Amino acid sequence: MTSPVLICGGAGFIGTNVAARLMSSGQRVLILDDLSRLGVERNLEWLRRTYGSLLDFELGDIRDPRAVRRCVRDVSAVFHFAAQTAVTTSLVNPREDFEINAGGTVNLLEELRLRSSSVPLVFTSTNKVYGNLDKLAVRRCGDRYAPQHPGICSHGISEEWPLDFHSPYGCSKGAAEQYVLDYARSFALPNVVFRMSCIYGPHQCGNEDQGWVAHFIIRTLLRQPITIFGDGGQVRDALFVEDLANALLLASRNARSLAGTAFNIGGGSEHTTSLLELIDLIGNLDGSRPQIEFEDWRIGDQRYYVSDTRKFTSATGWRAKVSVRQGVERLYSWLKETYRTPVAEEMLERGVA
């Protein structure tokens, strides 16, 4: 019997999609998750129902060394998605944010270091490690911002952009990724880091702090107003989770040659949208434009962030394939079906829809 692949945070949005991809090819998967995020129990139930005995589950916290030790013992590869994911939450409780994102990652790295043989680790970091990009000159062009630098306008932000951890969340994720990279250097572990932009797709229970594409659609379906922080012209490259899963699996398979490297991963310059453009697209799909409310900019907000993905493309041949329109249409259809269920009422009651 083949050794399982461990997915930390595997009942979450990205973890569920990666687990499904692996198990659909017959690969066993072990998920470590504390099930603290709304919607993840539904994801886990779906995985169990769909893939049966290919799935093993450990209810546990990435901060618990014993739980992590049990999980890494016999696995063939690791994907690390377990995290506190919101800037706003990190501002309310910076210590917990640090303990989960930085401390939990060091727990995992230590258990992997102490194994008798090394296995690939792919860790998902964030574009927030580049700060709010206040040194990037931008101009407003209609419903979006655009960078004045022609190279960045054509290709996006590369890995050469200076790191500038901003907000406790940016600090904790930035610290975690630097540990992942240094363990590759200091202990010869095959570790790879993805600095990710906007990821979206099925099995995402988005809210205004994290998962904003899904959040906008959910609010539209529930006939609730959407709050935009800033003016709505901020631009992101949107990467459909199917394309991300392709990239993650490529990184894992090639981890020994890519070890110790961080890659900017997103839709790239060919797959961008502003918040206002996305709202127009959702309105076209839904038949009525969502109601919008505006609030002040938040700490660490970037007016423009698009990933320059050429480094990873050069290393592996990977490219994003799903257009923003195609991906949003697919997510809209999935959420429309999902939010015919009682989970919609639960989301509203808990104030996270």
Is residue 87 within a helix (H) or strand (E), and if so which, with residue range? helix 87-92
Pick from 227, 254, 234: nearest CA to 301: 234
Of 31-35, 44-48, 80-84, 348-352, the least confident: 348-352
| CB 327 within 8 Å of CB 258 | no
Of 48-52, 115-119, 202-206, the least confident: 202-206
CB within 8 Å of 177: residues ≥ 6 apart: 123, 125, 129, 193, 195, 262
Torsion angle defined by CA atoms of residues 153, 299, 104 and 318, in that order, rounded to the nearest 10 degrees: -10
Q: Does residue 348 register a pLDDT over 60?
A: no
Q: How far is CA 174 from CA 53, 184, 306, in A?
A: 36, 16, 18
pLDDT at residue number 314: 98
For residue 246, the number of C-alpha atoms closer than 13 Å in the C-beta half-sphere is 16
Segment 197-217 mean pLDDT: 88
- pLDDT band at residue 338, thresholds of 50, 70 and 90? confident
pLDDT at residue number 345: 52
- pLDDT band at residue 207, thresholds of 50, 70 and 90? confident
| CB 94 within 8 Å of CB 168 | yes
pLDDT at residue number 199: 97
Q: Does residue 353 register a pLDDT over 50?
A: no
Segment 17-40 mean pLDDT: 95
Q: Which residues pair with 314 in a beta bridge?
A: none
pLDDT at residue number 206: 77
- Top-level CATH class of 5-350? alpha beta
| CB 36 within 8 Å of CB 62 | no
Is residue 249 within a helix (H) or strand (E), and if so which, with residue range? helix 241-253
Q: Does residue 239 register a pLDDT over 60?
A: yes
Torsion angle defined by CA atoms of residues 77, 79, 82 and 84, in that order, rounded to the nearest 10 degrees: 150
Query: What is d(CA 141, CA 154) in angstroms, rounded to the nearest whole number?
Result: 15
- Start-to-end C-alpha separation, the chain: 42
Q: Does residue 352 register a pLDDT over 70?
A: no
User: Could you tell me if residue 348 is left (phi over 0), alpha (psi between -120 and 50 degrees) or otherwise beta?
Assistant: alpha
Torsion angle defined by CA atoms of residues 109, 44, 194 and 214, in that order, rounded to the nearest 10 degrees: -150
Query: What is d(CA 206, CA 243) in angstroms, rounded to the nearest whole number?
Result: 19
Residue with tokens 């249409």: 329
> CA 21, 15, 310, 216 torsion: positive or negative?
positive
- pLDDT band at residue 346, thresholds of 50, 70 and 90? low
Tokens of 302: 């970037």
Active site members: 169
Segment 137-163 mean pLDDT: 96
Average pLDDT score, the chain:
93
- pLDDT band at residue 88, thresholds of 50, 70 and 90? confident
- pLDDT band at residue 298, thresholds of 50, 70 and 90? confident
Q: Where are the alpha helices (DSSP H) in 138-237?
A: 150-155, 167-187, 212-221
Of 50-54, 84-88, 270-274, 332-336, the least confident: 84-88
Of 155-159, 290-294, 335-339, the least confident: 335-339
- pLDDT tens for each residue of 305-328: 999 999 999 999 999 999 999 999
- Domain edges within the chain: 5-350
pLDDT at residue number 300: 74
- pLDDT band at residue 344, thresholds of 50, 70 and 90? low
